[in-house]
Amino acid sequence: MKTGKIIKVSGPLVVAGGMDEANIYDMVRVGNAGLIGEIIEMRDDRASIQVYEETTGIGPGDPVVTTGEPLSIELGPGLIESMFDGIQRPLDAIEKATNSPFLKKGVSVKSLNRERLWEFVPTAKVGDIVEAGDVIGTVQETAVVLHKIMVPFGVKGAIKEIKAGEFTVIETVCVVETEKGPKDLMLMQKWPARRGRPFAKKMKPEAPMVTGQRVIDTFFPIAKGGAAAVPGPFGAGKTVVQHAIAKWGDSEIVVYVGCGERGNEMTDVVNEFPELIDPKTGESLMKRTVLIANTSNMPVAAREACIYTGITISEYFRDMGYAVSIMADSTSRWAEALREMSGRLEEMPGDEGYPAYLGSRLADYYERAGKVTCLGTDGREGSITAIGAVSPPGGDISEPVSQATLRIVKVFWGLDAQLAYKRHFPSINWLNSYSLYEDTIGTWMNQEVASDWAELRQNAMSILQEESALDEIVRLVGIEALSERDRLKLEVAKSIREDYLQQNAFHEIDTYSSLAKQYKMLKLILLFSSEAERALDAGVYLDKILKLDDVRDKVARSKYIHEDEISKMDNIAEELKAEIDTLIKVGGVQNA
């Protein structure tokens, strides 16, 4: 193979000449150490290469060799429970080998372990006609993940041979007789990271991905197969929200991409996730999680690649028919990597120095989310729900990354510095956040949870909106100017905020609320509202109603009721009605 030569080195960008045999997006080996890089621009025989490792020590004249292959992801058993860097090098293997989280430069490690044996159980048999996406067998990858071995894209024919037993990921388990001759299938397949994996059909997401976070599920729900952005300034709670969704979201596979944030956040994930016991399976959350880490102390170029690595792995599990969720924390750090490379390429800068293609690159990522009918003759369905944190400088979302993201995603959870400052968590601002899935999911909730779900939600939201208008009046003319009814509204709004929207991610019970619990809680809060109005109608003073401390306290504390005991809320409702009845009996004649 012909070798090119380095002309110039600029940080993570290397320009090489004599590269006429190479193509854009080829992976290359740079310098004598063979640093790993990827061609991101070709002009005649000149290649601009983003190098995924520190480029100190290489210089003009050093050799560059193309591998002739794009950045490809290894897909097969061994993904789950692994932690990879941005270009899918396994970090734990590196740490064990070198006692440091960094690879020796130019060392190439295989993404998937080549020695480990997996028990392959064929589900197809000799003579079966198979095509891309058909499942030929399974591997029990972890206690909770049944890894389906699928016929790779482009392969079609009759199975000539298929073997049960223990295999490494690169041993042949099945031979398919194709038009072009026999094709050996292994447990592993490869896919270029920057290209979406094919599926049969994209579908409209209808069901929610239940997160157990009340403000999300009730007010700003995300569909299974949807995309959401979480913008917020430093310390507003982006990471905590993403962790909570990873932990509690009802997806079968979690891909967590730690992108350019501080290393200790990834350490939190690595320490916490294995200890988290999944209530559904009784197993550790890691048993269904893949981690991708490119923290702020790792080379910047690999940060650009990490979200493609993450989404490719997500697609692979989607293709098996699973509901996958992918979190990226933070897409702003990713965009900064993009901006840095663009600057070094001397491209024409767009808004705030970001390249003009920022929006289309973000779309490349988010548009790979969705609910699909998978390839394969069994018509199974899978989904990817994508959630991206955005960290706009100073929290001002008029900046380019936030704006470009909001044009693509359908859910916006706007984190608010003031709420976080008041320790209202999750600090999702209920007045400016939105979900474009609200109507579809409202219909689903009415069918699956309770027929008045959407109505309750709407009532609660109107009260919150009225609160902000009333607050304005109070600021101008004082609380005395308000009618008793409006003062009641303020009380109810406060209860919705404090007893419902606020949810402590670190409290054993409060950290997760099922939809059934969310429904009962909201119903109880709104029952207080309607019962209090009934009392006002009967002539009871508001002050008397507000002094029902005991039962009001029970309403406020209903978030701490264990999932198994949510019927206790029915008793609280009865108690509330009885207390109001008593008030009406003794106090309703106050005007007489």
Q: Which residues are annotated as a binding site for ATP?
A: 232-239
Helix (H, G, I), strand (E, B) or coil at 434: strand
Strand pairing class (381-390; 289-294): unpaired
**Cα angle, residue 251 at apex, residues 247 and 256 outer, rounded to 5°:** 55
User: Which residue is closest to Mg ion by CB?
Assistant: 239
Helix (H, G, I), strand (E, B) or coil at 102: coil
- Identity of the residue, 162 or 245, whose beta carbon is nearer to Mg ion in the bound complex: 245
**Is residue 385 near Mg ion by the rule CB under 5 A?**
no
Among Mg ion, ligand ADP, none, the one that 221 touches (CB under a kind-dependent 5 to 8 A) is: none
**Cα angle, residue 491 at apex, residues 488 and 495 outer, rounded to 5°:** 140
**Is residue 258 near ligand ADP by the rule CB under 6 A?**
no
Dump strand ranges (E) for 245-369. 253-259, 289-294, 323-329
- Cα separation, 179 vs 172, whole angstroms: 19
DSSP string, 227-273: EEEEE--TTSSHHHHHHHHHHHS--SEEEEEEESS-HHHHHHHHHHH
Nearest-approach distance from CB 412 to ligand ADP, in angstroms: 15
- Identity of the residue, 303 or 554, whose beta carbon is nearer to Mg ion in the bound complex: 303
The mark string for 200-239 relative to ligand ADP (x by CB under 6 A, - otherwise) is: --------------------------------x-xxxxxx
- Identity of the residue, 503 or 518, whose beta carbon is nearer to ligand ADP in the bound complex: 503
The neighbour count for residue 17, using CB atoms within 10 Å, is 16
In the block, tokens 């929290």 appear at: 395
What's phi and psi for 445, nearest 5 deg?
-60, -40
- Identity of the residue, 55 or 332, whose beta carbon is nearer to ligand ADP in the bound complex: 332
Nearest-approach distance from CB 420 to ligand ADP, in angstroms: 6
Q: Which of 7, 65, 93, 240 binds ligand ADP (CB under 6 A)?
A: 240
In single-letter form, the type of residue at position 277 comes to I
- Identity of the residue, 75 or 521, whose beta carbon is nearer to ligand ADP in the bound complex: 521
Which is nearest to 436 in space by CA: 105, 262, 111, 205? Answer: 205
Specify whether the CB–CB gap between 385 and 326 falls below 8 A.
yes
Among ligand ADP, Mg ion, none, the one that 506 touches (CB under a kind-dependent 5 to 8 A) is: ligand ADP
Nearest-approach distance from CB 234 to ligand ADP, in angstroms: 5
Cis bond before residue 330 (omega within 30° of 0): yes
**Is residue 242 near Mg ion by the rule CB under 5 A?**
no
Specify whether the CB–CB gap between 414 and 231 falls below 8 A.
yes
The mark string for 409-438 relative to ligand ADP (x by CB under 6 A, - otherwise) is: ----------------xx------------
> What is the longest distance spanned by two Cα atoms in the chain?
102
Among ligand ADP, Mg ion, none, the one that 232 touches (CB under a kind-dependent 5 to 8 A) is: ligand ADP
Helix (H, G, I), strand (E, B) or coil at 121: strand
Specify whether the CB–CB gap between 286 and 321 falls below 8 A.
no
Q: Which of 506, 543, 591, 592 binds ligand ADP (CB under 6 A)?
A: 506
Going by the annotation, the residues of the binding site are 232-239
**Is residue 239 near Mg ion by the rule CB under 5 A?**
yes
- Which of 363-371, 458-466, 500-508, 560-568 is the region at the interface with ligand ADP (rule: CB under 6 A)? 500-508
Among ligand ADP, Mg ion, none, the one that 333 touches (CB under a kind-dependent 5 to 8 A) is: none
Nearest-approach distance from CB 491 to ligand ADP, in angstroms: 24
Interaction site with Mg ion (CB under 5 A): 238-239
Using CB under 6 A as the criterion, which residues of the chain lie in contact with ligand ADP when the complex forms?
A: 232, 234-240, 425-426, 503-506
